[in-house]
A and B are shown apart, each in its own frame.
Chain A
Amino acid sequence: MIWIGDVLVSLGEGGVYNERMLGSARIWEPYRSKLAAFYHVGKGVELVPSLRVLYLGAANGTTVSHVADYCEVVYAVEFAPRPMQDLIEVARRRRNVIPIMADATRPETYAPLVEAVDLVYQDVAQPDQASIAIRNCVFLKPGGYLILMLKTRSVDVRKDPLIVFDETLLALEEAGFTVQESVWLAPYHQDHAAIICVKPEKPGE
Chain B
Amino acid sequence: MQSYWFGDVSEGRCSPVAVDIVAIVNRVLSLSTQMDAFIPPDWQQAVSCGVCSDRADYLVRLQEVCIAAAERSVREHYAGKDAELLQMVRTLDEMDTVINLLSERAADWYMVRHPAFSRKYRRTPSHILVRTIREKSRGALGKVAGEIEQLAETRTALAKEVSARANDVMPNTSALIGGLVAARLMAHAGGLLPLSRLPASAIQVLGARTALFSHLKTHTPSPKHGIIFQHRRVHNAPRDLRGRVARVLAGKLAIAARLDYFRGITAPEFLEQAQNSIDTAGKGNGL
Contacts and interface: CB of A to CB of B under 8 A. Distances in A.
A19 B77 CA distance: 30
Most buried by B among A85, A87, A92, A111: A111
For the complex, would chain B's binding face be called helix, strand, loop or mixed by DSSP majority? helix
A139 B38 CA distance: 9
Interface string A78-119: 000100110110011001111111000001110111111100
Interface residues of A, number: 29
Interface stretch (B56-64, B132-140, B180-188): B56-64
B35 A99 contact: no
A84 B70 contact: yes
A158 interface: yes
A114 B40 contact: yes
B144 interface: no
A88 B43 contact: no
A73 interface: yes
B11 interface: no
B120 interface: no
A115 B59 CA distance: 11
B35 A107 contact: yes
Interface in B34-49: 34-35, 38, 40-43
A203 B217 CA distance: 43
B57 to A, nearest CB: 11
Interface string B57-91: 00110110111011101100110000000000000
Contacts of B41: 112-115
Contacts, number: 81
A108 B40 CA distance: 11
Contacts of B78: 81
A113 B62 contact: yes
Contact of A84 (B4, B62, B73): B73
A136 B66 CA distance: 19
Contacts of B4: 112-113
Number of chain B interface residues as a range:
20 to 34
Interface string A60-89: 000000000000010000000100110110
A139 B4 CA distance: 14
A95 B38 contact: no
Interface in A31-84: 73, 81, 84
A85 B41 CA distance: 26
Interface in B177-231: 217
A1 interface: no
Contact of A112 (B31, B60, B71): B31
Contacts of B40: 111, 114-117, 138-139
B32 interface: yes
A87 B33 CA distance: 25
Contact of A91 (B34, B38, B63, B217): B63
Contacts of B60: 95
B141 interface: no
B103 interface: no
A84 to B, nearest CB: 5
A95 B66 contact: no
B5 A99 contact: no
Interface in B142-172: none
Interface of B: 3-5, 28, 31-35, 38, 40-43, 59-60, 62-63, 65-67, 69-71, 73-74, 77-78, 217
9 contacts: A73-B59, A95-B60, A100-B70, A111-B33, A112-B28, A112-B33, A115-B41, A115-B43, A138-B35
Given A88-B70, A97-B63, A108-B33, 11 more contacts: A81-B73, A81-B74, A84-B73, A88-B74, A100-B66, A101-B73, A108-B38, A112-B41, A113-B4, A113-B41, A113-B66
